[in-house]
Amino acid sequence: MRDDADQPVNPYRSPAELTEHLDLALDQQGQSVERVMDVLADLVAATPRTTSKRFYNQLFGGRDPVATAADMLVPVLNSSLYTFKAAGPMTVVEEVVLERMAEKIGFPVPGAQGTFTPGGSISNLMGMLLARNEACPQVHDEGMGGVRFRCYVSADAHYSVSKAAGVLGIGRSNARRVPTNDAGEMRLDRLAAMIAEDRAEGCVPGVIVATAGTTVLGAFDPIAEIAKLAREQAIWLHVDASFGGSALMSPEHSDLLDGIRHADSVAWNPHKVMGVPLSAAAFITRRPDLLQRSLDEAAGYLFQGDADRYNPGKRSLQCGRRNDALKVWAAWKHHGDAGYRDRIDRLMGLAGHCADRAEESVRLRLVVRPAYLNVCFEVTGKSSRQICDELRSRNQLLVGHASVDGRTIIRVPFVNGDLTIADVDEMLDLILEVAAALPHGENLVVAPAA
């Protein structure tokens, strides 16, 4: 869109300023269609542009026209994806996409089964739910009781794992954080030791959550080695590949997920690196019976015929569910495996170029050589937080900061398929230009307010 170039970020306004500027009040009397459309236009104009090539703030960005067009059909059709009776061919579309993703993972097809979820956090919750029910079958009907169920996850893993432990009644304190090495990868020796400690204390080691593409460094846990340990210990292995799963589309880079075919379940979000609009998140398990065993409930008013295979509501946490598979199917139909292979390879090249420039510059310090699409660095002697804030206030760039080893660094993910080397160079030049005008200071993490 032209606006993405003219207003690459959108001028920053505080929540108070937006509330004052925009007509957001819901009144007793309705307003005309024309007035509501005008307000909608104002809202769009004030919203940060995630489709711009200056947006580097999250692990998604850009716009896929075909996927966007397919997604626009979803509210027009307004089908809920719980039964074939209500959704017809859309249930088959979802099955086609999930089976193709399962093939890429290396799961047996037919055999593997899954569902689309509202996001990776829910996919991780589902993996932990199935693991809990398999390790402690009585819990499904009777509750946790005195069971001390343990979950193991990288210290750099997504926060949704601890949250899921609380939601599932496992207890957040039972989601044990396994130390990582300098590259941000889970340490296998510490994982094995923690499992042994817990068994000796009478706990139930029930699930290992390996991360394929951590949020900050983009690190990949050693899945093959973890899978071997999980099999030896009879522990469920869930792989959070919400970010990194798309690397499976590239033969050159799929070895980042070596061993994922041995996992019991996988989370993979096409709305990240594959460029599909939010949200498109898949949960896939290798065994076809487990989802229905844990999630099916009798509902004669809803399930009124057709094979269970085509009634996805029997294996979903949700009842009413949006059709998120259609946009993934449309984009994959358009790009094919070859198009996504080229996209991943190109983005990996851009991340490598950015890392090279950071290593070559006397003003930049690269935190670690990127394993995937995230490049983490800082401007020597300048505050990463202030740099990001200033770029935002200038309407030049939207990029985020994060904490690594006690320092606040700049994290740049390369996920927008339209980016070029010229865009990367422009982004780095903008960062250096803004940093030059800021005072010197250490890049220490600011302690949260008490």
Instruction: List, for residues 390-400, the tens digit of each pLDDT value.
Output: 999 999 999 99
Q: How far is CA 120 from CA 133, 142, 293, 294, 351, in A?
A: 20, 27, 21, 19, 23
Task: Kindly report which listed range (3-7, 242-246, 299-303, 406-410) carries the lowest average pLDDT score.
Answer: 3-7
3-state secondary structure at position 206 = strand
Angle at 161 between CA 444 and CA 174, to 5 degrees: 100
What's residue 26's pLDDT?
95
Which DSSP string corresponds to 276-304? PPS--EEEEES-TTHHHHHH----TTT--
* CA dihedral sign of residues 194, 197, 201, 207: positive
3-state secondary structure at position 174 = helix
Beta bridge partner(s), residue 407: 404, 444
225: left (phi over 0), alpha (psi -120 to 50) or beta: alpha
Q: What distance separates the 2 farthest-apart alpha carbons in the chain? A: 69
What's residue 279's pLDDT?
95
Rounded distance between C-alpha atoms, residue 94 and residue 113, angstroms:
11
- What is the DSSP-derived secondary structure letter of residue 115? E
Is the pLDDT reported for residue 445 higher than 50?
A: no
What's residue 242's pLDDT?
98
Q: What percent of the chain has pLDDT over 70?
A: 96
Rounded distance between C-alpha atoms, residue 165 and residue 121, angstroms:
11
Rounded distance between C-alpha atoms, residue 421 and residue 432, angstroms:
17
Q: pTM, whole model, 2 decimals?
A: 0.95
What's residue 141's pLDDT?
87
Pull the structure tokens for residue 289: 């019976």
> Which residues lie closer than 8 Å to 440 by C-beta, 6 or more apart?
381, 382
What's residue 443's pLDDT?
60
User: From the CB of residue 182, how many other CB atoms can be counted at a distance below 10 Å?
Assistant: 10
Asked if residue 416 lies in contact with residue 55, where contact means CB atoms within 8 angstroms, the answer is yes
Rounded distance between C-alpha atoms, residue 281 and residue 277, angstroms:
11
Rounded distance between C-alpha atoms, residue 97 and residue 101, angstroms:
6
What's residue 346's pLDDT?
98
What's residue 449's pLDDT?
46
Is the pLDDT reported for residue 32 higher than 60?
A: yes
Instruction: List, for residues 302-340, the tens digit of each pLDDT value.
Output: 888 888 889 999 999 999 999 999 999 999 999 999 999
Asked if residue 398 lies in contact with residue 405, where contact means CB atoms within 8 angstroms, the answer is no
What's residue 58's pLDDT?
94
Is the pLDDT reported for residue 2 higher than 60?
A: no
Is the pLDDT reported for residue 6 higher than 70?
A: no
Residue in the structure block whose two tokens are 């899945």: 223
Long-range contacts of residues 32-41, Cβ cutoff 8 Å, at least 24 apart? none
What's residue 400's pLDDT?
96
Q: Looking at the domain 2-63+337-436, which fold is it? A: Aspartate Aminotransferase, domain 1 (3.90.1150)
Mean pLDDT for the stretch of residues 412-441: 96
**pLDDT level of residue 379 (50, 70, 90 thresholds):** very high
Rounded distance between C-alpha atoms, residue 22 and residue 42, angstroms:
7
Is the pLDDT reported for residue 12 higher than 90?
A: no
3-state secondary structure at position 186 = strand
- What are the sequence ranges of the domains in the chain? 2-63+337-436, 69-332
For the chain, give the number of residues: 450
For 222-248, give one letter per residue: b (16+ CB within 10 A) or e. bbebbbebbeeeebbbbbbbbbbbbbb
Instruction: List, for residues 217-271, the tens digit of each pLDDT value.
Output: 999 999 999 999 999 999 999 999 999 999 999 999 999 999 999 999 999 999 9
Is the pLDDT reported for residue 444 higher than 90?
A: no
Instruction: List, for residues 262-303, the tens digit of each pLDDT value.
Output: 999 999 999 999 999 999 999 999 988 899 999 999 899 888
φ, ψ for residue 309, nearest 5 deg: -55, -35
Beta pairing, strands 113-117 & 236-240: unpaired
**pLDDT level of residue 146 (50, 70, 90 thresholds):** confident
* CA dihedral sign of residues 244, 249, 251, 252: negative
**pLDDT level of residue 362 (50, 70, 90 thresholds):** very high
What average pLDDT is seen over the chain?
Answer: 94
**pLDDT level of residue 442 (50, 70, 90 thresholds):** low
What's residue 8's pLDDT?
73
Q: Does domain 69-332 have CATH number 3.40.640.10?
A: yes
What's residue 5's pLDDT?
62
Q: Which of 325, 215, 318 is nearest to 276 (CA)?
A: 325
Distance of alpha carbon 422 from the chain centroid: 27
Q: How far is CA 216 from CA 121, 191, 293, 412, 427, in A?
A: 16, 21, 35, 9, 18
Mean pLDDT for the stretch of residues 165-192: 97
Is the pLDDT reported for residue 161 higher than 80?
A: yes
What's residue 450's pLDDT?
40
Instruction: List, for residues 100-144, the tens digit of each pLDDT value.
Output: 999 999 999 999 999 999 999 999 999 999 999 999 999 988 888
Beta bridge partner(s), residue 400: 411
